Structure 1
Amino acid sequence: MNTEESVHTLSDGLELYAKTWKTSGSPLAVLAFIHGFSDHCNAYHDLFPTLASAGVEVRSFDQRGWGRSVKQPSDRGNTGPTSQVLSDIHSFLQSLPSDTNVPVFLMGHSMGGGQVLNYIFHPESPYNGDKSNRPNFTGVLLHSPLIAIDPSSRPSKLTVSAGRVVAKMVPHKQRYSPLDANLMSRNEAVVKEVVADTLCHDTGTFEGLAGMLDRGIWLEGMFAAGPGAWVKSELPFWFGHGDGDRITSYAATEDFVKALTEKGGDVKFCSYEGAYHKLHAELPETTEKFLADVKAWILSKVPGPKRVFVQDEVEGVEVHGDAETEGKPKL
């Protein structure tokens, strides 16, 4: 597996750090990945190499205000409003390969998961604007998505209200908003790594933080808002969440999956018992299952005969053959 670093230039001239995890031959599929709050695309451990080794090329980038896209301290967390966030994502996605023979998937983690859901379902998203110029996805994956903050980590109503006032007065004012590293993973080595990673700066602007909360509030009320409030999607969706996650709400994901399924959505939900927020960097047995689940779901959606290399991580047995196809949508 080879990697390639690059720069994605936005319409306003801002340069974003981008990276591709390449397959050994022609890719079976391409996965575009959107990272979470105070995170960056090089912090996803074995997820991207595992997919690349199975024939899935991964393309990701550090969002405006995060990771290596930050050029100076004042850039930290300066994401702009939701319209800017979704526009940046749209710009990156439009740069993906246009070969119609290579299916493209979209995946988001945590804050990135909430952004992806807004991108697909919100009527004002650029994805739902000029549909003749939209990316052509085969499926969408959400990994511990921020539909709601878990009650144990949720800021008080007073803090949120005060933050909204400040956001209107001085939107780019920064606020240090650290996530509890001990809630990221049950793997102690991962907790230490998160603490030591200087690219995870835990700093947002009041405008960006308010936008993140508002995107979650919209998702929580999306289905209750009635017809026309959201755009129905025919795409298949995969959700993965640990029931021990105290950063983003497992219950909110469960409710969203149930409602989307009831609305006729093609949905699969994988629950991970006891798992915390970073399923890609959890206890080995959890992460192995998560990686296998993601890989299997993507490959099951790739049409036609598959040049698939499937590895049994537990037994160490290598099997060459076609990936299994998915059954009916289920919870």
Structure 2
Amino acid sequence: MTIEQEGTLEVNGHSLYTKSWLPDGPTKAKVLFIHGFSDHINRYNHFFEQLVARGIAVYGLDQRGWGRSVRKPGERGLTGPTMQVLADMAAFITPHLEDKSATALPVFVMGHSMGGGQVLTLACDPAYQDSVVKHVRGWLLESPFISFSPEETPSALKVMAGRLAGRLLPRHQLKHEIMVEHLTRDPAVRESIAADELMHNTGTLQGLAGLLDRTAALASGTVRPLGGGAMKALWIGHGTLDKTTWFEASKRYFDECTGEVKDREFRVYEGWYHQLHADGPDSEEFYKDVGDWILKRAEEEKTESKL
């Protein structure tokens, strides 16, 4: 049985919608989840329930500008600059790291798509190494936005114009439609996405510029995990037929982390699309892979604490 609890997180006077999915029994680990562009946390219900069934508690929030954290149309896509995005995530994660007792649960941070790129950016930021990164047991990225897929790559002229406009009109809203047929192979999920009024496909010029900058930094290798074992473990899963974010970019980034992250795994989902958590019956395999990876490291953490 899954216990669901809703709440809010106050960050700099802004209220963000939060929700948790908790086991009705012993809990072995925590996962803090960051959703993707034009997405919201309640679209991952089935995935989270599968983790909860294995004793993994899940905590999520609708990011600033998305889902139930939007109270009026003018707030759609109003994420703020990258500095604000990272600060919101840190404010969400940090309270779960404050328990230093022997019974504290290991904490994992996971992000999907745009959220995956944000999570990776946070994990590589020197400003958060001591307060956040060193205390997280593992980082998981589902179809992370490290680079556009060839089908979605905007022209250089469009990118340049967008960044210039973002400096002049940062709060100007702009629609960016994501083709639902590129997200999942499941017809029922495609229909539910098209009918979901919370998935508004609206960004601001400032938010979109920040997204482009983060992606460019990740794709170029400028943003990488720091050495010294700050990032304890990394898992990346990506579908080979993802037409929203690029499989090849994720694999290249992973291969270049050899020296910084010793415990790492790249999971190839042959023929899968973008939403590994909602790609039809095959998604059961994804649920198992994620749960197995988390529980193995949670058990290792438990063993190490007894030594």
CA-CA distance at 1:96 after TM superposition: 1.9
What's the counterpart of residue 215 of structure 1? 214
Alignment-mate amino acid for residue 23 of structure 2: T
**Moved runs in structure 1, 4+ residues, more than 6 A?**
none
Alignment of 1:1-331 (within 5 A): 1-10=2-11, 12-96=12-96, 98-100=98-100, 101-123=104-126, 126-128=127-129, 131-132=130-131, 136-222=135-221, 231-232=226-227, 233-261=230-258, 263-284=260-281, 286-303=282-299
What is the alpha-carbon distance in structure 1 between the residues aligned to residue 99 and residue 28 of structure 2?
Answer: 11
State the distance in 2 between where 1:266 and 1:303 align: 15
Could you tell me which residue of structure 2 aligns to residue 318 of structure 1? none
**3-state SS of paired residue (2:85):** helix
Unaligned runs of 5+ in 2: 303-307
- Find the aligned partners of 2:132 and 2:216 in 1 and give their Cα distance: 28
What is the distance in 2 between the residues matched to 1:19 and 1:97?
18
Alignment coverage as a number of residue pairs: 297
CA offset digits 1:202-229 (Å, max 9, x no partner): 0000110011111011111226x8xxx7
Contact 1:222/1:230 (8 A) holds in 2: no
> Relative to 1, partners in 2 of residues 1:299 and 1:174: Cα closer, same or farther, differing over 3 Å?
same
Instruction: Tell me which moved more, 260-269 or 273-282.
Output: 260-269
Distance 2:190 2:204 in 1: 25
Give the SS at the match of 1:83.
Answer: helix
TM-score, scaled to structure 1: 0.86
Q: Displacement, 1:141?
A: 0.3
- CA 1:97 to 1:53, structure 2 compared with 1: closer, same or farther past 3 Å? farther
1:107, 1:293 → 2: CA distance?
Answer: 13
**One-letter code aligned to 1:256:** Y
- What is the distance in 1 between the residues matched to 2:60 and 2:116? 14
Shift of 1:4: 0.2
Q: Report if the CA contact (8 A) 2:106-2:301 is conserved.
A: no
Contact 2:242 2:274 in 1 (8 A): yes
Q: Which amino acid aligns with 1:198?
A: E
Cα distance 1:179–1:242, how it changes in 2: closer, same or farther (>3 A)? same
CA drift at 1:257: 0.9
Secondary structure of 1:275's counterpart equals: coil
Change (3 A) 1:290 1:230: closer
Question: How far, CA to CA, are the matches of 1:60 and 1:211 in structure 2?
Answer: 22
Match of 1:302, SS state, is helix
Q: Deviations over 1:215-253 (max 9, x none)?
A: 011111226x8xxx7623341101100000010000000
Instruction: Give the Cα–Cα distance (whole angstroms) in 2 for the partners of residues 211 and 246 of structure 1.
Output: 21
Larger helix proportion of the pair: 2
Instruction: State the distance in 2 between where 1:28 and 1:5 align.
Output: 21
Q: Decide whether the 8 Å contact of 2:123 with 2:231 is kept in 1.
A: no
Q: Match of 1:112, as an amino acid?
A: G
Letter in 2 for 1:211: G
Q: 1-side partners of 2:135 and 2:175: how far apart?
A: 37
Residues 141 and 235, structure 2, Cα contact 8 Å, conserved in 1: yes
TM-score by length of 2: 0.92
- Comparing 40-49 with 14-23, which one deviates more in the overlay? 40-49
User: Secondary structure of the residue that 1:164 maps to in structure 2?
Assistant: helix
Deviations 1:281-321 (A, max 9, x none): 0020x201100000000000013698xxxxxxxxxxxxxxx
> How far, CA to CA, are the matches of 1:230 and 1:118 in structure 2?
9
Deviation at 1:267, TM superposition (A): 1.1
**What is the CA–CA distance in structure 2 between the aligned matches of 1:304 and 1:95, rounded to whole Å?**
23
- SS of the aligned residue for 1:240 comes to strand
Contact residue 279 and residue 290 of structure 1 kept, 8 A: yes
> Where does structure 1 lack aligned partners over 5 or more consecutive residues?
307-331
2:143–2:239 CA contact under 8 A, matched in 1: yes
CA distance in 2, matches of 1:289, 1:72: 38
Partner of 1:317: none
Counterparts of 1:142 and 1:305 in 2: how far apart (Å)? 21
Q: Distance in 2 between matches of 1:252 and 1:246?
A: 12
3-state DSSP of counterpart to 2:144? coil
